[in-house]
Homo-oligomer: A and B are copies of this chain.
Amino acid sequence: MTHTPLGPGPEFDLVRELVARYGASAIGIGDDASPVQVPAGEQLFVSTDVAVEDVHFRASWLTADEIGYRSTMAALSDLAAMAVMPRGIVIALTLPSSWRAKATAIADGIARAARACNAPIIGGDLSDGPALSLAITVLGSSRTPLRRSGARVGDAVWVTGRLGGPATALASFLAGGQPLGETRARFAAPQARIRESVWLAAHSATACIDISDGLAADLGHVAVASGVRIALDLDRILCLPGVSGADAAGSAEEYEIVVTGAAALDVAAFEAEFNIPLTQVGSVIAGAAGVEAHSAGAAVAVPPGFNHFAR
């Protein structure tokens, strides 16, 4: 589908520059609203996620390309959280003049994330403002979405990946350092687990959420929404080197997913398909809605989640 030609003016020149960087990922840009293609029989879902300079990232931590990539992937992760396939991305970009020279690098990162998830970029808005901000709205569809409210007593609790990277990276950044290797990559280059959650939805998963607030906090959302109790074993969490289970359970912005489902889930098939670990870290039990944590066989404090408003 071709774009609608844009009129003259410097704002539209910048839009043309950005759309050129989106390349084949951009579809149908240029009218007041953008059409979204939803396969017949599928339910449409929408989610919006904002990334603000000096709240969600600092300019000294990430390249402009990484800022675009990470912000887009964080938004797409909300579709992974429901086992929903992406159908469109719209981006409200607030671009201070001091960022103007890096606009195309930000667009490159947005396009990289969109391509990685096979998600078309279908529209956006552009504004001046006091800080770089990306408000990214994602649309997706599914016949069999997973909700937070589907967990049932007797389910096992599974988590993807190795946790603790983003919290460790953030601690290093905040201390003035530059994290390295896998630790930095887990913060700067997350991967929304969309194909993984769609697979899990087809293999007995009953509820899903992404770990954007931290494993323990997000399991709390599942527990409240499902009206169940979740027992989390901190010792079973697969962590990056040097990270404790408690730290990993409180590490936010992981963009891994946690699902509830059958204890007999075929872990080997999952790991063969996606080449990332899937680990049972707890179980859904009867009791008051909420999370309880255990370590070395004893009850321990539930690691707190991350909250931008609590800082």
Contacts and interface: CB of A to CB of B under 8 A. Distances in A.
Nearest to A43: B35
Interface size class of chain A, counting residues whose CB lies under 8 Å from the partner chain = 35 or more
- Quickly give the copy total for this chain: 2
Interface in A17-38: 30-36, 38
A56 interface: yes
**What does DSSP make chain A's interface, helix, strand, loop or mixed?**
mixed
A33 B224 contact: no
Contacts of A126: 309
Given A9-B305, A38-B38, A33 B129 contact: no
Given A127-B52, A130-B130, A135-B135, A47 B6 contact: no
Interface of A: 4-11, 14, 30-36, 38, 43-50, 52, 54-56, 78-79, 81-82, 84, 88, 90-92, 94, 122-131, 133, 135, 137-140, 145, 147-149, 209-210, 217, 220-221, 223-225, 305, 307-311
Given A32-B148, A32-B210, A50-B135, 18 more contacts: A7-B221, A10-B309, A11-B308, A30-B225, A32-B78, A32-B79, A33-B47, A33-B82, A33-B140, A35-B43, A36-B44, A36-B139, A46-B90, A48-B90, A52-B128, A54-B130, A92-B92, A126-B309
The 5 closest A-B pairs by CB, nearest first: A135-B135, A32-B81, A33-B47, A33-B45, A92-B135
